[in-house]
């Protein structure tokens, strides 16, 4: 990169144009690392505020992805999930020709909070299985899966190796879905969620609350959180 002089557009816009031109020309392909704020400041001789604003706006426009503590990267086409279907996220990612990886951050048995017990149709004080997993596409975190499972329906849930299959794949095989309830909301992430996803506190997120049944039994309730700049929901009606 080389420094540029003041022109007809604000400097932060000039920085954005500089980066977009590299992306649109193919010089910087998807997942290519974008110069850091420090590098932009030094090479283009702009202020840190200018560099930060340019990168922040490019991220909000979906041109780049910023991962806290790692850097900024050219954004790939947003992944998507079908709004009205219950699909395995690993299958969705592989269908796009990308690599799926996951990391389990919590797996324990606990007393169900009152709202979870109600969602699963359990009595007060009932125990549930609780798991939290982060799913990544080509190494980039795109979903937190915060799930509670009814032990009466899936007693061996905690014994599974979820590095070789997803909770969705296992639960669907053990207790085939006959009914689903899904609620979609726009939310602000909590600090621990920002850390797991590598996003800023002000990153808007999509959240799906999903409950599933097998026959008449409540099987699981899950909270699925997606960074808004990395994922989208799609729906189609006939």
Domain edge (last residue) among 57, 74, 91 = 74
**Number of structural domains the chain divides into:** 2
97 and 35 in one domain? no
Torsion of CA 136, 183, 84, 192, to 10 degrees: 0
| Residue 42, in any domain of the structure | yes
CA angle in degrees (0–180, nearest 5) for 109-113-115: 130
173 and 107 in one domain? yes
106 and 28 in one domain? no
Nearest to 2 by CA among 43, 59, 58, 57: 43
Domain edge (last residue) among 19, 49, 74 = 74
58 and 133 in one domain? no
135 and 31 in one domain? no
Nearest to 170 by CA among 104, 124, 96, 84: 104
Chain Cα centroid distance, residue 98: 15
Nearest to 148 by CA among 78, 199, 224, 206: 224
CA 34 to CA 14: how far, in whole Å? 15
* Strand 231-234 with 79-82, pairing: parallel
112 and 55 in one domain? no
DSSP, residue by residue, 170-207: HHHHHS--SEEEEEEEEEPPPHHHHHHHT--TT--EEE
61 and 89 in one domain? no
Helices (H) and strands (E) in the chain, counts: 7, 11
Instruction: Domain of residue 84: give its range.
Output: 79-234
Does this model's pTM top 0.85? Answer: no
| Residue 1, in any domain of the structure | no
Contacts of 128 (CB under 8 A, 6+ apart): 109, 110, 111, 112, 116, 117, 120, 122, 148, 149, 150, 151
pLDDT in single tens digits along all 238 residues of the chain: 444 555 667 888 899 999 989 988 889 988 788 999 999 999 889 999 999 999 988 988 778 888 777 788 888 765 545 455 677 889 888 888 889 999 999 999 999 999 999 999 999 899 999 999 999 998 999 999 999 999 999 999 999 999 889 999 999 999 999 999 988 899 999 999 999 999 988 889 999 999 999 988 999 999 999 998 877 666 544 4
């Amino acid at each position: 990169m080389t420094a540029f002089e003041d022109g007809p557009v604000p400097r932060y816009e000039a920085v954005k144009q500089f980066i977009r031109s590299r992306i649109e020309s193919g010089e910087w392909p998807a997942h290519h690392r974008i110069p850091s704020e420090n590098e932009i400041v030094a090479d283009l001789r702009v202020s840190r505020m200018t560099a930060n604003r340019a990168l922040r706006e490019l991220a909000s426009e979906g041109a780049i992805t910023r991962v806290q503590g790692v850097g900024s990267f050219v954004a790939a086409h947003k992944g998507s999930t079908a709004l009205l279907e219950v699909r395995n996220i690993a299958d969705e990612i592989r269908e796009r020709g990308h690599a799926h990886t996951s990391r389990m951050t919590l797996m324990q048995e606990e007393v169900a909070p009152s709202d979870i017990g109600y969602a699963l149709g359990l009595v007060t004080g009932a125990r549930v299985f609780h798991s939290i997993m982060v799913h990544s596409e080509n190494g980039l975190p795109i979903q937190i899966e915060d799930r509670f499972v009814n032990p009466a329906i899936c007693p061996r849930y905690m014994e599974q190796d979820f590095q070789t299959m997803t909770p969705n794949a296992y639960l669907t095989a053990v207790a085939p879905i006959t009914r689903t309830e899904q609620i979609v909301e726009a939310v602000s992430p909590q600090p621990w969620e920002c850390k797991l996803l590598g996003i800023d506190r002000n990153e808007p997120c999509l959240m799906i609350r999903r409950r599933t049944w097998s026959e008449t039994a409540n099987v699981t309730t899950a909270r699925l959180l997606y960074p808004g700049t990395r994922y989208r929901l799609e729906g189609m009606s006939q």
